[in-house]
Structure formats: C-alpha cells, structure tokens
Amino acid sequence: MSDEEKGDANNEYLAQIYQRKECILWGSIYATNLIDLENRLAGICDPGCTPFHEHEMSFSLKTTQTPDVTLRLRRKFHTETTSSNQWRFRYVGRPEPDPNCPVVVRKVIDSVAHSQNMMEFVKTLGLRLDYEYMAKGKVWTCGAIKIVVSSLKRTKQPGKYEVENLEKMSDSYLIELSVTINDSVDYHPIAKQLKAFSSQLSPLVELQKVEYWVK
Amino acid sequence: MGVSWVLELFDTSTVTIETKLIVAGAELVGGYTVDSTPYKPSEQGISHFYLLHHSQFPQSAFSIAHQDTYKCSPRASHDRGFDLILHKLNVGLQADTAGKFEVAGNELKLQDFRIRIGLATQNTIAKGVIVEVEYSPSSVVTQAMPVLTEFIEHFFPDSVESKPEVLKKTAPEPYSALETLYQYSLLFSVMRKRAN
C-alpha cells in the first residue's frame, strides 16, 4: 500500500468518527418574549439547561480558486480574561441540495484544539478573519435534538472585547434547532422529526429552513 | 506523561542500543511509531508546516510551523478531527507525501524511564536512529532535568551537550507532548537536508 493509499484509508477511518451530518433550523424571538419560550422548552425538553458564553470567529481560506473554504473557531468567552487557549474548530460543508427536505442538512467536522498562539497558528494555515461575534445563551436538549437560544454581540473595535466595546446585534434571540447524525445514516427521518419538534415551539418561534446559500 | 529528551544517535543501530539497555535491566514494553507530514502551501500567504502523530497519544495530532524558537513557532495540539479539516483546506495546503517521515521501533522500560528507540525513514529510505528518553514521574522540566541529564550522560554521553531548546527552561513550567513532537520535527528537518 502506497503512502497516499494509507493516508486515504486513515482519513476514511477518521471520517467515521469525526465527520457528521447536521440537520438544522433557525428562528428568532424578541427578548421580551424569551421567558415564554424558556417555559415551553422547560416543559418539553430534558430537565435542566446549560448556560454558555462563547466567542466565535469565522475564517476563510481565500485562494484564487473558488469557492472559499470556511472554518469557524469558538472558545469560551470571558470579558475579564480572554485568554482561553482551548478552541473548537468547525468545518461546515455546503448544504445538501434537497428541496424536499424540510431542514438544512450539511456536513460538519468538529475538532478540539489547544494552542498558546492560536491566532498566529490560523494565520499559518492561510486563514483570514471574515467576521466574529459573542454568543451568550442557553442550550437545551430533547433526546438527540439540541436547542440553542442565544443573543449575539459584536465588538465595535476588532481585537477589543471589554464590556464597553461590545454592542448588541439585535433585540432578538437566535434560536437554533439541530441534530447531528452519523454521516452514512439516511437523514430524511431525522429531518422530519426535527421539523415535527419545531412545530411544538409554534407560534412562539417559527423555525425555518434558511436557504442562506441562495444569493 | 513525563518529560522527554529526543536525540539522534550516529554510528550505531537500534539493536545495539536495545541490547545495551536490556543488559542494564530494561524490559521491552512494546512498539511505537511517530510520523510527520509536511504541508506545502500552494498560494502566497500560507506557511509551510508539519502535522505529527505519536502512537503514545493515538487520538491526538500536533501541528508545528518552524520559526527561530519554540516559543515563537505557531503550534497547536488537536484531536484527530483536525486531520480531516486539513484535508478540506487542500486548495491552499497540500500534504507532501514524499517528504513524510516515520519512526518505528521498540519501547523499553527501565525503572522510571521509558526509552523509545526507532529507525527514522523518509519514504522507506533509512535516515537515522532516533531515541526518545522519557522520565515519567514529573512533567516539570526543571524538576526532571537533573535525573534525565544523568541518564543521558550514562547511556549516550556524546549527546549530553546537545540539549534540546525546549529543555533549557529556568521557570517551573509544565511540559507538554507538543514539546516532544517539536523535538522530533527539528530532527526530521536536519535529516531531510542531509544527504544519505
């Protein structure tokens, strides 16, 4: 077996572990109505929720060939010390072109990384920052379904993350409903389940398949 | 995990070193492998860097872009999902399989030390003998160095002067596996440039 074949076999093995399919829907709710949604979620989801406050940076590998490859990096956000060296890399693939599927289905690869100089490291990879935001919110689960409710903030000055430099992006909270499944599994039954679950949050939130790739 | 000193030995073979250590009371524990793949940029603005794996850390991958010193070298440790993510970046970064280095050999245990003795190859061409001596009880370089130096002095006296940069610490900082892989990658760079 040549080195190239060995490399491909190795990548296939790793893909079984790390490459997943994500079924996802989005919606939003005014901050004033958030409490109603939280009560609804507390009633139908698994007991308890997990609060989080994270900093997401979206990078692209810009080359002369198109399209750009986008990677998202996330870490825990603290306004006091922004020095968490633990990051999560996420590659999000192009959505499946399936007009009959009620949700967005896309390939994702997650990887946890640790670096004392992550910004220099991503520069080494040729990645350039497109945008960044801070997300603060809560995560609920209902079996395999993950419900993320968060408010987004951006910094007025890139690189400065003190409280006075942060501003809200909107008066609404972003709602994300997602399930990740094994890449080889048929996603249609899961997509239907996710759509059915989303109808339980209606009329508080109307979750939609946002076709963000259509310009 | 302890502190490791990775060195290259000349004019010897893996069997000779293993015999020497077994005579001193070492036991064979098993095999081990280390590999390093260079990634070459295909566009400007992207740097040359190495992705390394060590069989002692099977679910981890280590990336290092060499600069003058370890401290200023962009580096990161990841889970193996990163191997797949790198594959997605192949429009800008391509694995140079011809430049891939592999070390395969045996691991021995001698009291508190783990010694890994392997043959480094680049595309099946033997490039040299690499020995990794790990002092297991401590993961603080300043604590481990006196006894690690004594071990190297005893078994590999010619190498004691060439102490790796990552082991020349004065503050009691914790040691990480990335520093072991950095030592390997520096040795591979020297071997790569050397004619056989």
- CATH code of residue B9: 2.40.320
Tokens of A30: 């005014």
Chain A interface, best mutation among B85, B100, B179, by max A CB count within 10 A: B85
Percent of chain B with pLDDT over 70: 98
The highest-confidence range among A96-100, A154-158, B182-186, by mean pLDDT, is: B182-186
Q: Is the CB of A61 less than 8 angstroms away from the CB of B91?
A: yes
Chain B interface includes A9 (CB < 8 A)? no
Q: Which two tokens stand for residue B3?
A: 């502190």
Fold entry, domain A20-199: Hypothetical Protein Pfu-838710-001 (2.40.320)
Give me the domain span that covers residue B90.
3-193
What pLDDT score was predicted for residue B93?
Answer: 87
Band (A80; pLDDT cuts 50, 70, 90): low
Query: Which of B89, B124, B182 to mutate against chain A (most A CBs within 10 Å)?
Result: B89
Is residue A184 within 8 Å of residue A129, measured between CB atoms?
A: no
Q: Where in chain A are the domains?
A: 20-199
Cβ–Cβ below 8 Å for B84 and A109: yes
Q: Which residues of A163-186 are buried (b: 16+ CB within 10 A; e: fewer)?
A: eeebeeeeebbbbbbbbebeeeee
Average pLDDT, chain A: 90
Chain B environment of A69 (Cβ under 8 Å): 88-89, 91-92
Instruction: Provide the token pair at B130.
Output: 């690499």
Q: Give the Cα-Cα-Cα angle B49, B38, B124 (nearest 5 degrees).
A: 155
Confidence band (pLDDT; 50, 70, 90) for A66? low
Please check whether residue A164 touches B, CB under 8 A: no
Q: What is the pLDDT of residue A126?
A: 86
pLDDT score recorded for residue A83: 65
For residue range B89-126, list pLDDT tens digits in order.
Answer: 888 888 999 999 999 999 999 999 999 999 999 988 99
pLDDT (0 to 100) of residue A4: 66
pLDDT digits (tens, 9 = 90+) for A100-129: 999 999 999 999 999 998 999 999 888 999
Q: Model confidence at A10, in pLDDT bands (50, 70, 90)?
A: confident
Query: What average pLDDT does range B67-80 have in this prediction?
Result: 92
Residue A34 has pLDDT above 70, yes or no: yes
Say whether pLDDT at A82 is over 60.
Answer: no
Distance in Å, alpha carbon of B103 to nearest chain A alpha carbon: 14
The total number of structural domains that make up chain B: 1
User: Using an 8 Å Cβ cutoff, are A108 and A142 in contact?
Assistant: no
